[in-house]
Every structure is written in structure tokens, then in C-alpha cells.
Structure 1
């Protein structure tokens, strides 16, 4: 487990204490890899806004546009130019020490504001009142104490607030039990929203449980209708935790489970630090991505375990400078960049590093997926030191991503370049070839580097026919299975392809 450096400011004489953490809710493999660098984004003081009012520029529901595979992106900002893939991106470290240990925190226990914590009483009003009080002071803490179960409805915890705000969950936090119990006036797309905050931390030794099963069983969900076919119609389900238009936020130590849809979303954020999370839902729970990023920059995700029914971590349009280290995924759909370019939109993703990860019992391992007809680019992507265990598609680039047979092959595509796969080892499920590069007919994938890739069948015979289509790259070492289908050099149309960059 990585220990953060926490500065102690004193008088002339100072004594250094070694603070040893003795509790963790996350079971499993943690690492001691790379030192995180702190990135400070803005220091201006923030005024206090009375909860839960939102600025008039935002719609009251704060509705989230779902994954690009389900709806178009109306505004996707361009990412910065891709950095080189030889070094990991600069990411923030934990922006604040534990205020309880420093004696500087004002703790607002929700039970002091009327929360009952019996698992059935609606404690929403108490949480809102505690938030309002903590927001108004420096280093305030909203505390949901251990030993109690709090049920709250869909809520927007809005800023700006004074710096150092902490939302501490040591007990159990949960929403109403399913769509039949969901208040008709509440958004069915989101549950807990943290909006327009700076220097805020969500943490604790407790559990946030989404009571997702009644939502998964809706007949409009995949494989839930008659004969395994979903029934068309409205099928909105709430994501559990969403950070929206926020900076310098940290999430650590929690157990987050059974989300109706995505477990965590970061949308329009900059400076995100995530560590020591346990995220879990059943393997067949639909659309339950573990962590989803969109239009979000400078992100660090460390030493966490994610098991769910969809992407372990999904990286959408407008993301850059993302460092993922020491994450264990599975069962899941792996770590995915995309889907990108839906409905001919522009998508820009750059400088993504994934290292020291385990992916097990998953449909996919490392995946990039784009729609035909999009523009933009995916560049500066590095996968290093990845262990695969019984994964169907270990390495896959799919530029023909489509959810129906109605998709047509189009001339434009998101340009995929500068991909690095180093020390990728383990076993694959022989239902599919372990390596699959399906690139656009007109916009080739370029600068693919393969080194120390050794993938063997989990059971059965070796599948030695990796698939490549219009993919250019090199093998620095012999690869198992051999990848003879990569094209040498660069395509003649590269100059024309460059117009798809960001």
C-alpha cells in the first residue's frame, strides 16, 4: 500500500511522527510502485453556496449523457497534444491529509442533524443539512458513522465550498430499493452527485451499496427480456456516484458495490486521485462500469480492485493524462478506451498509461473501440506489465464498433496511433484469437509497438493466427503467438490521416 507524504507545519521545534494506517476495506493485491506527483490546479478562494441550489446555467436535473455507445456527445473538448509514451503522465496526489489526525477538522455527524440510520428511514434531509454546514467552514467533514445504515434519495451535493471538505462514509450508504421505490420527482440517471467542487475528498472505511438488482432485472436490459432479447423502451438507470465539473478531488478506501448502472463517473473534471477502492457487482450485471472518465484530465487510479459486469475502467472522449497503476480487474470487460466517434462526432484521447495490472476472467483485456464515421485521435497509449488470466480478447483494437447490424462502413475514422504493449503475459480463452487489430480501411492504425508479449491458451490448443487489418507496427521481441500480420513502416496516406488529429 502506498503511503502519502503528509506535511506537518509547526513552530521552531518539530517532531516527526510515523503514521501507520491499520485499516483497509480493500482485500487483495496492492503495490508499492511509483511515487505520485501532486498537481495543483487553482488556489483562489471559493464562496459558499447554500445547498442544494445549482447555478442557473445548468439544468436542474444535471442529467448525464450516457456512454457514447448509447447516445451522441454534443460537445467534446479537444485533448492536448499527445505526450510521449516513454514516461507516465503527471497526476495529482492526495490533496489533503486526514483532518481528524491533525485536529483541524470540524466534524458534522449526520446523526446530529436527525439521521436515523436504520436502513429504511429517509435520511436525505440530514445529509443535506450536514453538507451545508460542512461546506461553510474550512476542512469540514460530513460523517456517516460506522454501525448504521443510511438510506438517502438522489441528491446533488453542490459547491463551491470552503477548501478541504471531506465526505466520510464509515457506515453503510444506500439508495431506495429499485425503480418502484424511486421518488417520481428524482432523476433516474444518477444518485449521488458532487458538483462544482474543488479540493474535496470522498473516503471512509464503509460501504456504498447501490441496491442494483431490481434495475438489472428490468426487461429492457440486455438479456433480460423473453428468450434473452431485451424489450425496447425507456431504460434509464441511476449511476451511483458522479463527480461533475470539479477539480482536485480524491476518492479512497471505500467499498462501492451493486450499482444500478455505472459505479463511478468523472465528467468535466481535472485533477482526480483514486486509490484503495473495492468496486464490485455480479459478472452479468448490465452496464455496471467500474470507473468511467469523460472530458476529464490529470487522473491517477491506484491500488484498487474492480469486479463488475461491464468495463472495469472506461475512458471516453476528451480525456488525457491518465495514469492507472496496480489495479486488478475481473470478472469484467477489461480496461477500455472508448467507445469513440459515435454519430460522426470528434473524440480526442491522449497520454494514457496502464501498468502493473491484473485482468482475469474477462471478456476483454486491453481494448480500444471506435465507431465508423468519427474524427479525432487516440494517441500516446502505453500498456506495461499486464498479467492476463483466462481473457477472451487480450489485446483488441476495434474500429468497427457497432451495437447493431445497421452500421455502415464509412470513410472517416478516429485516428489511432502510438500504441505500446510491453510485458503483456498470461493466458487467453481460445474462443477468440488473443490479439486483434481491426483498423479502418482508410485511416490506418500506426506506430504499434509489441515487446515481450507472451499469451498462451488457458485450456486447449494454441491459437496462432492473430488478426490485423490495416495496422502498422513493429515487434521488438519475438511474440507468442507470433504477430506476422503487422505492416511495416507507415501508410502512404499518413499525411491525409493527420487531419484527424486533435
Structure 2
């Protein structure tokens, strides 16, 4: 027994020694000026920075939140198998073993597209939510008219929301519940639920769009409902659903953690205003994979409070591309960190991959990687815009902004419609730092050369970069000389950047 106890004491001593060594090494590293990637004031070494991103990302602290992992954890894998069994049952019309099926038709839903089925859906939901192993079933081959509704949790374990039919919103804005002006289908307070089934969620948005201030400039600008919202949830999976013609945004993930969206299809006309496909806000550990999105706004938009967002195999177009932002509007503070896109095809879009911030804001966007993107007939494939201004009146120059740092654009190829294929418009007062372009090959559709435009964007290019991005290296503030900067500031009128 004493020998064992002595071994344990020896192990503790060795462990303490290793911790002490690590602390000393960290202190030496800090003293030498090589701080964590993203820290202000660090003199970043190019090789270190490239190594950081070469294996798929992660930050210098070793958290690895940008590493891609196609598999669920063990518990999640079992849940996926159970969800697959429900899908198989739906196809064969045989009830799954051990599942409590709650059919909205059994609670009085008409499913004819004209009768209001909201109350029937609410009654069915209350029943399903109270049962373990419940399946909330919206049968296929039917069209259910549902008004603003809240599917509230917490519910019992292993809830599956099986949407096989079509859920359609009221067409007339006048029919909308004034107590829920921004929400249509809200799923809130759920843990581990599965939302699936191959059905359709149709927002009937055409009359909402006609009343938008972006379509009718005489109208007052006001919000409209989001078709589907996942709010304050944990471990939710959404897959194989089709969302179309939302009043404004199609699918929003807010104030949630560990949410996965797969095989989601979003469709709306390219002139439909503010119809973002998937919007992420105030959420962490969100995965978006294998989704096809075509809308009148951003295919995917990632806004304030978003951390560890991973996107893979995205098809985008038409639309405004895949965006982080907008951030910092009205002088607000914003924070976004750990965003990774690995694999996308973006076609017939205004932008490819983009970061957009308003002047006057504060906070940061850092540790971002856009990789393996094919662009086809896109106005501006690569954009950082710290002068974003989507307003009726001009936006005046301000000295504060959301800080953008540690951003890599890697293996982005294809065709651009505009001469400015790469546009890095950063703030004079808060320049972008550690911006890396690696293996870029962009041309006009007719084979003509395009160009890179920089303002106050600091970084470097690596590998083959076409068009050349020498402006990342040539001056402390982008490609402008100090004299040009001073003249530009004196002559600059109020900025009026509309949506790119």
C-alpha cells in the first residue's frame, strides 16, 4: 500500500512540474510578443498563422472549434438512428415500435388549406409534449393553414416533429396576430428534439414583400414574421425540410446551442426583400450542412453573439451570398468568433463570402475561414465591408467600428461579374488585420482580368492569388499612401453604401 501511495505522490509531483513548465513557456511566449491569434498588438508570424489554419482551423488555445466532425456524439448517434426509424415508418405507414404518435388530424385539423388549423396544432402539441417518445405528426398529402404559433418546451424525452405535409401561413398580412408580429412557427425551450419529414413550410410571403419599404419606397420600413424560429433550444436537429416564400427570414437559430441543420432547402424569388435563408444569432456550436438555398437576401447570415458556426457543402444562389453581419448598427457592440465554411457553390449572387459591419459599432469578428468555394457569375466573390450602410439616408463617417481580424479566404475560384472581384474596404480608424488570401483564382466570365481593392486591410497572400493582392502588404493602411489617406479623408462625402 505504501508503494502505491508513493507512486501516486510521484505522479502528482511530475504533474505539478509539467504544469509549471507550461506556465513558464506561456510567459516566455507572451513576453516575446507571440500572443493568442486575435489578440491585439501581437506581431503575427506568417508561418505560424498559416499553420494555425492548415489543418482546418482552431484557435491558438487548442480548442479546435473549427475542426469539422461529421459524426454526432454517441448519444446523438442513437437519436439519429431512432429518427431514421421514424422516417422509415412514415414511408411505410406503419407505426414505429415504442413511439407515441400524435396526429394533428386526430385533434381536428382539416388540412384543406383554407380552414384555420392553429388550435388543432396547439392541442396536438400539448399532448405530444407531455409524452415520452412522442411523434408530433403532420401527415403528408395535405395542406394545413396555421397562424402564428408557439411550440413551447420543455417536453418529455426524444421528441420528433415529423412534418410530411405542407404548413402554410395566412396570405393576408391583415390576418396576422398583432401579438406575434415577427414570429410564425416558433420552437422554443426544446432539448434533443428532431424536426424532419420532407414536408414544406410555406410562408405565403408575396403580399408581405409588396408592402416592404424596399419594394415600395413610399412605405414605412417595418419587420415581418420569420417563417421558422428555433429559440432557446439545445441539441436540436433539423433535416430534410423545405422552406419557401417566407414573409422575411426563412429559418432563424437564436439563443441556442448545439443545433444541426442538414438537407434543408430554401426557396424564394431573388427580388423578395430580406428573405435570408438561414440566420444565426446569439448561438454557439451550430452546424449547417448539405443545404440548398436561393433567396432575395443572404443565403446564410451570421450575426451578433455567434460562436463556433460550421458550414459545409452549401449551394447558394440566387441571393446575396454567405455573410457574417451586419454588425454594429446604431453603435452597438458585436462579437462573432470561430466561423468556418468548408465547401460551397455560389452562383448568380451579388456576393460570394462576406463580412459586413456598420461604422460606429464596437466589438470584434475573428477566427474566420472561408474555404473551398466555387463562385459562378457572382458580382463580388470576396468582400469585407466596414462601411456597410443599408439605410434610406447616407451614413456619415465615424471613427469606431467592429474590429475584423484573423480571416482566411482559401481556395476560392470561379467567375466574377464586376471588375472588383475582391473588395476589402476596412476602416481607417480600426483596420482589418491578419487577412489572408490563399489559392485564389478569379476571372471575368469572358476571361478578362479582375482586381483586388484594399483600404486599411493588413495581411498577406499565400500560394497563387489571382487577382494579385499586393495591397495587403504595401502600407500600414491598405494600399493607400499616408498622403493619399489624408486627401481621401478631406474629400470624402458621407458614405452611402447600399446592399451589395
**TM-score, normalization by structure 2:** 0.77
Match of 1:241 among 210, 228, 246: 228
Is 2:347 aligned against 1:347?
A: no
Higher relative contact order (CA 8 A, sep 6+): 1
Higher Cα Rg, which structure: 2
The residue correspondences of 1:86-125 to structure 2 (distance < 5 A) are 87-88=66-67, 93=72, 96=79, 97-98=82-83, 100=86, 103-125=97-119
Paired with 1:157 and 1:363, the residues of 2 have a C-alpha distance of 36
Corresponding residue of 1:60: none
Q: CA deviation at 1:186?
A: 4.5
Match of 1:379 among 341, 362, 366: 366
Paired with 2:61 and 2:255, the residues of 1 have a C-alpha distance of 19
The residue correspondences of 1:433-472 to structure 2 (distance < 5 A) are 433-459=420-446, 461-463=448-450, 465-472=451-458
Q: Figure out how many residues of one structure are paired with residues of the other and give that number.
A: 404
Is 2:482 aligned against 1:482?
A: no
Q: CA deviation at 1:491?
A: 7.5
Is 2:421 aligned against 1:421?
A: no
Q: CA deviation at 1:345?
A: 1.2
Match of 1:177 among 148, 171, 174: 171
**Counterpart secondary structure, 2:261:** strand
Corresponding residue of 2:201: 208
Going from structure 1 to structure 2, the CA distance change for 1:91 and 1:172 (only over 3 Å counts) comes to same
Q: Deviations over 1:453-482 (max 9, x none)?
A: 00010247322x311011111111131111
Corresponding residue of 1:336: 323
CA contact (8 A) 1:255 1:277 kept: yes
CA contact (8 A) 2:423 2:454 kept: yes
Corresponding residue of 2:18: none
Paired with 2:437 and 2:241, the residues of 1 have a C-alpha distance of 36
Corresponding residue of 1:133: 127
Q: CA deviation at 1:403?
A: 2.1
Paired with 1:231 and 1:489, the residues of 2 have a C-alpha distance of 45
Paired with 2:401 and 2:61, the residues of 1 have a C-alpha distance of 18
**TM-score, normalization by structure 1:** 0.77
Q: CA deviation at 1:181?
A: 3.1
CA contact (8 A) 2:428 2:477 kept: no
Paired with 2:454 and 2:205, the residues of 1 have a C-alpha distance of 39
The alignment yields a C-alpha RMSD, in angstroms, of 2.2
Paired with 1:353 and 1:83, the residues of 2 have a C-alpha distance of 16
Paired with 1:85 and 1:437, the residues of 2 have a C-alpha distance of 27
Q: Which has the higher helix share?
A: 2
Paired with 1:248 and 1:202, the residues of 2 have a C-alpha distance of 11
The residue correspondences of 1:222-237 to structure 2 (distance < 5 A) are 222=214, 224-225=215-216, 230-233=217-220, 235-237=222-224
CA contact (8 A) 2:351 2:380 kept: yes
**Counterpart secondary structure, 1:343:** helix
**Counterpart secondary structure, 2:401:** coil
